[in-house]
């Protein structure tokens, strides 16, 4: 670079003056640097997506941080919900009460539950007890005895430290019966769990009629009975937590 400057000084006498010479040399050096950088970029071009990728990478930590915060919030929320729902003791037997109107599918659900989910559960069925006492499931003339037998079977099951499903309609919908059942499954002795079947009366009546047409013996309630049962189910849904029942 100094050799080129010396050659220019010889050809241009004005450059012999030191101040002018220094200025020209500086300008020449700057121009030379610009030319060199331009040639380098021309020979080694940058990838087209380089700037875009770098900008994405600069934003990605923030996005990742945001997602991790959302995940932590979501997991903490699920943890809070699961903590609230864990009101049963796995070391204790469970009394699982079924609440629903006639034809809501309680007996079918209980059968499938003991076949697939908990095979050790015992079904305490009012229909079975009623059939033993009267010879048929649709004879409701001895319901006091049916209720007594229901409570006896639940008591015997808990004494064996076995879990049971109380499959019944009208007794389970009675606050008085539930109080007696609750007295058997006191805190520290058994878990009190409830499965609520919320179905429309028209659907329930259709299921009952279908079973009857297939030759299955069913009690056929009136629409007035069904509507009263719907009201009782709705009332229970408002108070079951206060009564110490855990929803299945």
Sign of CA dihedral 242, 187, 182, 197: positive
Is 169 within 8 Å of 191 (Cβ atoms)? no
Closest CA relative to residue 93, chosen from 48, 155, 9, 42: 155
- Helix 126-134 to helix 143-159 angle (10° resolution) is 130
> Contacts for 180-185 with beta carbons within 8 Å, 24 or more apart?
180/151, 181/95, 181/97, 181/151, 181/154, 182/243, 182/244, 184/95, 184/151, 184/154, 184/155, 184/158, 185/95, 185/154, 185/158
Closest CA relative to residue 190, chosen from 92, 98, 91, 118: 92
Cβ neighbours of residue 2 under 8 Å, at least 6 residues apart? Answer: none
CA atoms within a 13 Å half-sphere pointing along the CA-CB vector of 81: 5
pLDDT score of 230: 96
Residue 64, both tokens:
């990742």
Cβ neighbours of residue 77 under 8 Å, at least 6 residues apart? Answer: none
Q: Where are the beta strands (DSSP E) in the chain?
A: 94-99, 122-125, 164-167, 191-196, 246-247
> Contacts for 4-13 with beta carbons within 8 Å, 24 or more apart?
4/28
pLDDT score of 231: 96
pLDDT score of 64: 45
Domains of the chain: 2-43 (no CATH), 91-247 (3.40.50.300)
Sign of CA dihedral 248, 192, 118, 135: negative
| Cα(73)–Cα(103) distance, integer angstroms | 42
Per residue of the chain (248 residues), give pLDDT as tens. 555 555 555 555 554 556 666 776 678 777 878 876 777 666 555 555 444 444 444 444 444 444 545 554 554 454 444 434 547 899 999 999 999 999 999 999 999 999 999 999 999 999 999 999 999 999 999 999 999 999 999 999 999 999 999 999 999 999 999 999 999 999 999 999 999 999 999 999 999 999 999 998 899 999 999 999 999 999 999 999 998 999 98
- β-partners of residue 124 are 166
- β-partners of residue 192 are 95
């Amino acid at each position: 670079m100094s050799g080129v400057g010396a050659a220019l000084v010889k050809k241009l006498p004005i450059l012999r003056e030191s101040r002018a010479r220094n200025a020209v040399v500086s300008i020449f050096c700057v121009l030379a640097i610009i030319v060199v950088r331009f040639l380098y970029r021309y020979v080694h071009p940058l990838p087209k997506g380089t700037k875009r990728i770098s900008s994405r990478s600069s934003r990605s930590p923030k996005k990742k941080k945001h997602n991790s915060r959302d995940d932590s919030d979501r997991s903490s929320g699920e943890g809070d919900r699961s903590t609230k729902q864990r009101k049963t003791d796995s070391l204790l037997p469970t009394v699982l009460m079924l609440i629903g109107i006639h034809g809501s599918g309680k007996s079918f659900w209980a059968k499938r539950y003991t076949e697939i989910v908990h095979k050790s559960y015992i079904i305490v069925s009012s229909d079975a007890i009623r059939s033993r006492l009267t010879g048929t499931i649709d004879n409701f003339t001895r319901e006091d005895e049916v209720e007594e037998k229901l409570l006896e079977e639940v008591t015997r099951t808990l004494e064996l430290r076995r879990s049971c499903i109380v499959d019944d309609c009208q007794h389970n919908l009675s606050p008085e019966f539930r109080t007696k059942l609750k007295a058997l499954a006191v805190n520290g002795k058994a878990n009190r769990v409830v499965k609520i079947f919320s179905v429309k009366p028209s659907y329930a009546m259709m299921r009952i009629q279908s079973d009857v047409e297939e030759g299955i013996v069913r009690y056929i309630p009136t629409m007035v009975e069904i509507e009263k049962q719907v009201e009782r189910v709705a009332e229970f849904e408002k108070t079951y937590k206060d009564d110490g029942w855990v929803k299945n």
